[in-house]
Structure 1
Amino acid sequence: MTPPESEPIDVLLAEDNPGDVRLTEKAFEEGSVLNNLYTVPDGIEAMKFLRQEGDYADRPRPDLILLDLNMPGKDGKEVLRDVKADPELRRIPVVILTSSAAEEDILESYDFHANAYLTKPVDFEGFLEVVERIEDFWLTVVKMPPE
């Protein structure tokens, strides 16, 4: 349980599937951790958000990134490479949350310094459980880097 004086955690979800966005939002709403969940539909918007450009100029730098690999425009692997190559962004933990279970995707994600790789379950209950576990581990157990 989060102490009442805790600051909310800012989470960026980069996900192009509206159904998965809704499921993630629902799971975070039901969770026990104070959080602000921001969503972007693709990798181009994710990088704009992270660099606080344009419409995202007033958005906070997230404490955690949930990243889908298969997005239009700039895919999740490209975003991961850009984040981990940027000295101002590289300490933000990145959790890959994707439908791909391909060994090549898993290996490349870790090669590009993903902090975790999770495959989305196909059923509703399984998906909610995965998001709840992400919240529990990354937002209550792990010590996050200071800003």
Structure 2
Amino acid sequence: MEDRLLHILLVDDDEIDVMNVQRAFKRNNILNPLFVARNGLEALELLRGNGPQAIPKERRLVLLDLNMPKMNGLEFLREVRNDPDLHTLTVVVLTTSADERDKVEAYNLNVAGYIVKPVTFLAFVEAMAALNKYWSISELP
């Protein structure tokens, strides 16, 4: 079972959204390790093995907000796709932005999905359950 765990990096600067993801994981019995970065720069540090907590290099998934300080989600995606060690990373956008330009640019940067954050917690729990079902049947590297 240990070899099926995903190492999930949540990149989001909103403390309430971070807590909602953690609560939704708990409610859905999602046992994958969850790492948190507050912006794209912190996320890159964690993914590259720099900083206080290194994320294992195998079976990684990033849940990415777009609207963040220092380095936003689209800037992070551009950096990841240009990095030879990270370019194959699986990224799912999880954001409040329903802007069509953001969606198009994210998909042009090869995201695996684009989820607009639900307004209610129950809808958020359901979205995390659906995402968990998807990654449990997907063959992520």
Task: Provide TM-score, normalisation by structure 1.
Answer: 0.87
* Contact 2:39-2:70 within 8 A present in 1 as well: yes
Q: Paired residue for 1:143?
A: 139
Does 1:64 pair with 2:49?
no
TM-superposed CA distance for 1:89, in Å, is 1.1
1:1-147 alignment runs, 5 A limit: 4=1, 6-56=3-53, 58-61=54-57, 63-138=60-135, 140-145=136-141
Deviations 1:24-75 (A, max 9, x none): 011112334431001111111011111111323x432361000000011000
CA distance in 1, matches of 2:120, 2:127: 11
Indicate the percent of aligned positions where both proteins have the same amino acid.
38
Number of corresponding residues: 140
The verdict on how the C-alpha distance between 1:91 and 1:122 changes in structure 2, with shifts beyond 3 A counting, is same
| Contiguous gaps of at least 5 residues in structure 2 | none
* Contact 1:7-1:34 within 8 A present in 2 as well: no
TM-superposed CA distance for 1:82, in Å, is 1.1
SS in 1 for 2:46: helix
Note the aligned Cα RMSD (angstroms): 1.6
Task: Provide TM-score, normalisation by structure 2.
Answer: 0.91
CA distance in 1, matches of 2:10, 2:63: 5
* Contact 1:8-1:33 within 8 A present in 2 as well: no
| Contiguous gaps of at least 5 residues in structure 1 | none
TM-superposed CA distance for 1:137, in Å, is 0.6
CA distance in 2, matches of 1:122, 1:5: 33
TM-superposed CA distance for 1:7, in Å, is 4.0
The verdict on how the C-alpha distance between 1:32 and 1:54 changes in structure 2, with shifts beyond 3 A counting, is closer
